[in-house]
């Protein structure tokens, strides 16, 4: 492979036009869509309209006049096709951690079982939230097992199988239908964190057998820093579940200001407080970047970008071990490579305008967001990594660890 083959692939890319929907700074190679998606070109105007015209001019009347009250549902309608779920089975709002808390506690209320089964390498905040729940309810247990022991651990005491679809470090992608079905067979509910999947891979919440899911708005959905998150519950459970955080926006008639709580029908009962309208406006601009795209191409391109990067790295940086699955079907839309000086190398790459993430322990992560990443970006990133390694520039004290945020 070469820059020329990269360019040829870009010319054939059926999603190439999607990149024009984003503002990516000139000269920057941004391989960090799985920490923060790039800014949609439509975002500044969409947000400015909400700020200046809706908030500034129309003030409180905007809840009706500009449909603020329906904005979570409007976002759900746009998210529906991306994750293949009926918008009525989705809810937008709060953070992924808060939504995960709501779903876990609500799901425990559905069952007499008391064990949450998860993978020991699951995303930390998912482990923290679940572990926090065991402090609240001492009869609840969080059981962490290695990936290869998940299926055999699905016993009759398991209430919920909680997994992240695409691992935030290795990029390992679980087989959602098979594991959801295994959970179902043992009478457990499945709860998927699809934060590193939604917007990057073709996926089907409604067709996967998942009982519940949560996901992030600021990664591949391009909703802006700290964007609202989303959650999904299979239709048949919705009316049987109650949110542990019953706030007024989840009330059947919030503006009646009745003294007692009656949960709204369906997913709306999982709303709690008033959502940030500015954050939802930005998320809507992010979701709009998917409009009219053939979503089957998402995964094709993510797979092909990953395969191309593996090939380019093998050629240019043959000594850098890949720590992600080699087979596209086993991975999501990012790759990690190992190096003892991974932190410093990532800093040296950032100084060269190639943005990836450092992740503990010793991992360089490169997110290949299919809407914004070109094959030539991947080639140029691989070349930059080779240059940084060959020059040894990463050993400069300038790139040593100093900041809290990596």
Q: Tell me the C-alpha distance between 267 and 273, whole Å.
A: 14
Q: How many CB atoms lie within 10 A of CB 185?
A: 10
Q: What angle do CA 80, 81, 87 make, to 5 degrees?
A: 20
The question of whether 301 is a catalytic residue gets the answer no
Q: How many CB atoms lie within 10 A of CB 178?
A: 12
Q: Find out whether 137 and 108 touch, Cβ atoms under 8 Å.
A: yes
Among 16, 47, 186, 386, binds a copy of itself (CB under 8 A): 47
Token pair for residue 91?
A: 């809810």
Catalytic pick from 193, 288, 303, 357? 193
Among 11, 12, 27, 60, binds a copy of itself (CB under 8 A): 60
225 binds a copy of itself (CB under 8 A): yes
Give the β-pairing of 29-30 and 90-92.
unpaired
Catalytic pick from 21, 219, 301, 359? 219
Contact set for a copy of itself, span 188-217 (CB under 8 A) = none
184 binds a copy of itself (CB under 8 A): no
What 8-state DSSP symbol labels residue 58? I
Nearest distance, CB of residue 101 and a copy of itself, angstroms: 5
Among 274, 294, 391, 395, binds a copy of itself (CB under 8 A): 274
Nearest distance, CB of residue 325 and a copy of itself, angstroms: 20
The question of whether 123 is a catalytic residue gets the answer yes
Among 1, 18, 29, 32, binds a copy of itself (CB under 8 A): 32
Q: Tell me the C-alpha distance between 135 and 117, whole Å.
A: 16
Among 8, 17, 52, 265, binds a copy of itself (CB under 8 A): 52
Could you tell me the CA-to-CA distances from 302 to 199, 215, 281, 332 in Å, in that order? 10, 18, 27, 8
Count of alpha carbons within 13 Å of 304, Cβ hemisphere only?
Answer: 21
Contact set for a copy of itself, span 68-97 (CB under 8 A) = 68-69, 94-97
Among 5, 206, 276, 383, binds a copy of itself (CB under 8 A): 276
Report how far Cα 83 is from the mean position of its chain's Cα atoms. Answer: 11
By beta-carbon proximity to a copy of itself, the closer residue of 23 and 181 is 23
238 binds a copy of itself (CB under 8 A): no
Among 75, 90, 179, 227, binds a copy of itself (CB under 8 A): 227
Q: Tell me the C-alpha distance between 92 and 227, whole Å.
A: 10
Place of tokens 């290695």: 146
HEC profile for 392-404?
CHHHCHHHCCCCC
231 binds a copy of itself (CB under 8 A): no
Mutual orientation of helices 96-108 and 124-136 as an angle, nearest 10°?
40
Q: What burial class does residue 259 get, using C-beta atoms within 10 Å of its C-beta: 0-12 exposed, 13-18 middle, 19+ buried?
A: exposed
The question of whether 219 is a catalytic residue gets the answer yes
Token pair for residue 147?
A: 């990936």
30 binds a copy of itself (CB under 8 A): yes
- Total chain residues near a copy of itself (CB under 8 A): 89
351 binds a copy of itself (CB under 8 A): no
284 binds a copy of itself (CB under 8 A): no
Among 79, 105, 183, 213, binds a copy of itself (CB under 8 A): 105
By beta-carbon proximity to a copy of itself, the closer residue of 5 and 95 is 95
Q: Find out whether 118 and 183 touch, Cβ atoms under 8 Å.
A: no
56 binds a copy of itself (CB under 8 A): yes
- Contact letters for a copy of itself, residues 131-150 (x by CB under 8 A): xxx-xx-------x------
Q: Tell me the C-alpha distance between 173 and 240, whole Å.
A: 30
Nearest distance, CB of residue 24 and a copy of itself, angstroms: 9
The question of whether 193 is a catalytic residue gets the answer yes
Count of alpha carbons within 13 Å of 359, Cβ hemisphere only?
Answer: 23
Among 112, 139, 255, 340, binds a copy of itself (CB under 8 A): 255
Residues annotated catalytic, as ranges: 123, 193, 218-219, 365
């Amino acid at each position: 492979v070469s820059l020329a083959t990269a360019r040829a692939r870009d010319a054939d890319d059926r999603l190439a036009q999607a990149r024009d929907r984003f503002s990516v700074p000139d000269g920057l190679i941004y391989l960090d869509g799985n920490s923060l998606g790039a800014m949609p070109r439509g975002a500044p105007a969409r947000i400015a309209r909400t700020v200046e015209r809706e908030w500034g001019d129309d003030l409180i009347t905007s809840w009706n006049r500009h449909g603020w009250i329906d904005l979570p549902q409007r976002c759900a309608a746009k998210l529906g096709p991306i994750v293949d779920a009926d918008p009525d089975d989705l809810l937008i709002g709060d953070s992924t951690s808060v939504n995960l808390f709501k779903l876990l506690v609500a799901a425990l209320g559905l069952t007499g079982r008391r064990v949450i089964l998860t993978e020991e390498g699951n995303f930390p905040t998912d482990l923290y939230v679940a572990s926090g729940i065991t402090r609240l309810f001492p009869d609840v247990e969080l059981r962490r097992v290695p990936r290869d022991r998940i299926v055999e651990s699905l016993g009759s005491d398991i209430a919920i199988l909680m997994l992240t679809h695409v691992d935030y470090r290795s990029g390992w992608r679980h087989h959602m239908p098979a594991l959801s079905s295994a959970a179902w067979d043992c009478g457990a509910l499945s709860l998927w964190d699809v934060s590193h999947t939604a917007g990057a891979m073709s996926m089907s919440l409604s067709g996967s057998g998942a009982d519940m899911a949560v996901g992030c708005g600021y990664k591949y959905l391009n909703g802006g820093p700290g964007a609202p998150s989303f959650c999904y519950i299979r239709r048949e459970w919705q009316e049987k579940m109650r949110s542990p955080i019953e706030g007024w926006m989840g009330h059947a008639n919030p503006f009646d200001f009745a003294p007692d709580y009656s949960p709204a029908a369906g997913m709306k009962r999982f709303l709690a407080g008033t959502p940030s309208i500015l954050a939802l406006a930005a998320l809507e601009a992010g979701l709009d970047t998917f409009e009219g795209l053939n979503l089957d191409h998402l995964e094709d391109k993510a797979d092909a970008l990953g395969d191309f990067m593996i090939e380019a790295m093998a050629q240019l940086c043959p000594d850098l071990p890949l720590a992600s699955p080699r087979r596209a079907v086993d991975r999501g839309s990012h790759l990690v490579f190992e190096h003892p000086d991974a932190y410093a190398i990532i800093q040296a790459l950032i100084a060269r305008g190639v943005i990836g993430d450092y992740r503990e322990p010793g991992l360089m992560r490169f997110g290949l967001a299919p809407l914004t990443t070109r094959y030539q970006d991947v080639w140029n990133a691989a070349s930059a990594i080779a240059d940084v390694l060959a020059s040894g520039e990463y050993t400069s004290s300038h790139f040593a660890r100093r900041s809290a945020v990596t």
